[in-house]
Amino acid sequence: MTRGGFFVTGTDTGIGKTWCAAALLTALRRRGHSALGMKPVASGCLEGPDGLRSEDALLLMRHGTAPAPPYERVNPYALAEPIAPHLAARREGVEIRLATILAAANGLRECADFVVVEGVGGWRVPLNVRETVADLAHALALPVILVVGLRLGCLNHALLSAEAIRRDGLRLAGWIANRMEARTACAEENIASLRERLAAPLLGVMPHLGAFDADRLAERIDLAPLLNEGTRARPTRS
């Protein structure tokens, strides 16, 4: 029986959600918890011998608890074109259904203490003609972790995303600052501004890396606020 899970969303697409989700999985495993990742919807998937596969979903599978679950349970909707998921699905004659995703998520929940679900794009990205990523997070009923890509405009994007998450009835469990470039103007000042304005704990500041390194990133994650521990470590800064 699962102890819980988290829904990882971001201030935009391409701001490091997958790396942060994989780091979270690694950090949970280091603490002795079983943890599985899920990427319910992925566009831009590549054709392989076993069909369409998402690089993001495969990364999450590699850093979750072994043995890995069936791919289709981790990524129920693998779409080929690297465009908005509802458009990619429409072109392939597919309708993204929350019921299908929930069934796959429940299968994962039976196998791990924690399930880390990574959204697609940002909070309001459409999944079909009616529902968005926000509806998916609400249906899963998981606390939300917001990945903030440190770049120009991140303050507005982060504050608007946090406001939307709360208005949609979800709990913002924490946020992660991700250094997307080796040098970012006013990075520390932006982090300080968000700490003052986001009513949720900073879980870590991810360094800029040329290649994914699960161990280095996991070291930057403070699990204490997520696991309701009394002592909270200060996130390591790069």
Catalytic residues: 39
Q: How far, CA to CA in Å, does 10 sit from each of 1, 133, 146, 216? A: 28, 11, 5, 21
Identify which of 180, 140, 130 has the alpha carbon closest to the alpha carbon of residue 157: 180
Contact 74, 108 (CB under 8 A): yes
Question: What is the SS3 assignment for 129?
Answer: coil
Contact 69, 62 (CB under 8 A): no
Cβ neighbors of 234 (< 8 A, separation 6 or more) are: 222
Cis ω on the peptide bond leading into residue 67 (within 30° of 0)?
Answer: yes
Question: What is the SS3 assignment for 31?
Answer: coil
Contact 115, 25 (CB under 8 A): no
Amino acid residing at 82? P
Residues 143 and 172: their CA atoms lie apart, in Å, by 6
Cβ neighbors of 112 (< 8 A, separation 6 or more) are: 2, 33, 34, 35, 36, 64, 65
Q: How many CA atoms lie within 13 A of 164 on its CB side?
A: 19
